[in-house]
Structure 1
């Protein structure tokens, strides 16, 4: 287990615990010359990131752990979203999230200590959207129609639930319980 992801030494809840995974795509970024990793948020992104945080707070989502890509646009998204939450979760900046495929993200999440019931991952597309689709064995309510056939826009997030330890997270085990995107009609 990665020391960066593990909360270390605490006893784990029973394996039947229901867990939440929130997958947040970074807010809209600028395209300046230079490294993709160091792209800053655009003006719209600086407005949408706090809106995503407010929506998470409105849904009553209280993360125990936030895993954030090391890219500048994800760090800025998190910095603007987190003040909107009722409590700041422990945050780990994880370079493995940058440009990660869904399988690599699942491997990372499998390392999370079971002390964390709710994890918020701040990442990038196509990984965030693909991970949502791969993990969601079922979809609750109208969320299927809202997510189906759509892009996963910047500052959008999905909320998935599954039962069991983090090491049991695999394709098809979760239920998509919510999906939100800024600027939805």
Structure 2
């Protein structure tokens, strides 16, 4: 019997957004801090070798800007698909998007929002390495990246089927250049 392939789902919460008066939620841009943190997220993805085969990104401006700035820090660029269903979906809808990922994809990166990402992690992670689960229960902050792994297909991801194997929060340098 052949073992099922290892799948890796990376969940990246968009970086800190600005709140310009009169701007619709979907159109909110990143703040200055968010721009720094998005770049740091790209460096973190490269440093930890969390390189996706495919990126699915919410259509919200802040999510797209997060990915653009993160991607600029990577050596190679995976295919990216803007996915309207990733704008604040309930967990079953987010999982439906993941279930439709092609079989050739081993590592998928989803750029999205809370509480959807946090709730997805807590629903599908049967266990975590170290103290990751309690950390996510407490808070899944902006520019946080979670890594969930399991053996099987994308369609098999469900309640308590994955292991939370990584959790990191990307923070950019706050020092002002001299």
| TM-score normalised according to structure 2 size | 0.90
Distance in 1 separating the partners of 2:54 and 2:5: 16
7, 30, 42: which one aligns with 1:53:
42
Q: Give the number of equivalent residue pairs.
A: 169
TM (norm. structure 1) is 0.87
Structure 2 gaps, min length 5: 172-178
* Deviation of the 1:141 alpha carbon: 2.7
* Contact map agreement 1:15 1:165 (CA 8 A) in 2: no
Counterpart Cα distance in 2 of 1:37 and 1:15 = 42
**Alignment-derived partner of residue 71 in structure 2:** 82
In the alignment, structure 1 residue 144 sits paired with structure 2 residue 144: no
Q: Deviations over 1:2-45 (max 9, x none)?
A: xxxxxxxxxxxx77000000000000001112211000000100
In 1, are the aligned partners of 2:103 and 2:153 still within 8 Å (CA)? yes
- What aligned pairs does 1:61-72 form with structure 2 within 5 A after superposition? 61-72=50-61
5 Å matches for 1:1-185? 16-32=4-20, 33-145=22-134, 147-183=135-171
Separation (CA, whole Å) in 2 of partners of 1:173 and 1:29: 32
Tell me the C-alpha RMSD between the 2 structures: 1.4
Distance 2:137 2:15 in 1: 20
**Structure 1: distance between partners of 2:97 and 2:58:** 12
1:55-85 C-alpha deviation (Å, 9 max, x unpaired)? 1111111200000000000000000001212
1:100-151: CA deviation from partner (whole Å, max 9, x where unpaired): 1111100110000110000000000000111111111010134335x25421
Q: Compute the displacement of 1:182 (Å).
A: 3.4
Dislocated runs of 4+, deviation >3 Å: none
Asked if the contact 1:66/1:122 (under 8 Å) is kept, the reply is yes
Please list every run of 5 or more consecutive structure 1 residues that lacks an aligned counterpart in the other structure.
1-13
Partners of 1:86 and 1:60 lie apart in 2 by 11
Deviation at 1:87, TM superposition (A): 1.6
d(CA) in 2 for partners of 1:55, 1:148: 18
